[in-house]
Amino acid sequence: METEHIYSVNELIRLREKAQRAIKIQSSELEIDGWSKSDYDIKALLDVFKPLRAREGIIFKSYLYRSGLNGNGIIRAVQASENDQASDLFLGNDLFSPPNPKGSFENLMDGIQGDGSPWSYMCASLFLREALAFGEMWHGISWGHFHIYVPNIEGEESVIPEYWDLDWRRVPPDFTPQVTVTEEAVVVKFYTFCGVGASGVFEHIDTYKKRLLCI
């Protein structure tokens, strides 16, 4: 049996605005070039996404990369039993070799669980994108250029400037954010607009194994 759960665009926009405020870092952490350990606590971001929480026995470590005005970052989910403070002393200066402490998971979401509701999967999709954008600055910005897409419909104002003439490859019949639950999987779908680089409207589809996020 397949069920579809619909959410408002404004609901996602408000949630993302809260997430972006929660993911901000202290200006004092912007002064060190190369990789450095950050004091950022991912709990601030998790508190925005109410259906999500850290799995038991997991801690999170945050790292920032700076090169002049450019910035990136990474948040690692780490088995608390394997936490090694010494590994944070020598982090290097290579953007493409981020810190990878002992006991860390390849996928940040391996350290996150949810309440199993359809909304928890939508939250997971947005949470992960915001977490992966941690520390982005200037040329390092990626997800920060994407905006939840609001089409020109009654009562809404499009996020696409009027001067933008898009050449649509395919116009979806509905831009409403949705979560579809089947017997085997949960599929999250929403749309964004990006006006930088390969500009356009983008369809985001995330597929989860059913009950993957369940507590």
DSSP character string of 37-52 = EE---THHHHTTSTTE
Q: The tokens of 96 are what?
A: 């493409």
SS3 of 9, please? helix
Q: Tell the residue number behind the tokens 């985001």, with chain if given.
A: 204
- Answer whether residue 158 shows pLDDT above 70: no
More confident residue, 87 or 9: 9
- Answer whether residue 165 shows pLDDT above 80: no
Mean pLDDT of the chain: 86
What pLDDT, on the 0 to 100 scale, is given for residue 49?
97
What is the pLDDT averaged over residues 75-95? 80
DSSP character string of 105-160 = -SSGGGGEEE-S-HHHHHHHHHHHHHHHTTT-BGGG-SGGGEEE---S-TT---SS
- Answer whether residue 170 shows pLDDT above 50: yes
What is the pLDDT averaged over residues 65-74? 88
Alpha-carbon span 114 to 123, nearest angstrom: 9
Alpha-carbon span 132 to 127, nearest angstrom: 9
- Greatest mean pLDDT among 64-78, 140-154, 162-176, 200-214: 64-78
What pLDDT, on the 0 to 100 scale, is given for residue 53?
95
Q: What is the pLDDT of residues 28-68, one digit of tens each?
A: 666 778 899 999 999 999 999 999 999 999 999 999 998 88
- Answer whether residue 159 shows pLDDT above 70: no
Q: How many CB atoms lie within 10 A of CB 38?
A: 19
Whole-prediction pTM value?
A: 0.88
* Element of type H or E holding 11: helix 9-22
Residue extents of the structural domains in the chain: 3-209
What pLDDT, on the 0 to 100 scale, is given for residue 200?
84
DSSP character string of 146-212 = EEE---S-TT---SS-TT-----S---S----EEEE-SSEEEEEEEEEE-SSS-EEEEEEEEEETTT
- Answer whether residue 215 shows pLDDT above 80: no
What is the pLDDT averaged over residues 133-138? 88
Q: Under a CB-based contact definition with an 8 Å cutoff, are residues 147 and 159 in contact? A: yes
* Of the candidate ranges 45-49, 65-69, 90-94, 103-107, the one whose mean pLDDT is the lowest: 90-94
- Answer whether residue 71 shows pLDDT above 90: no
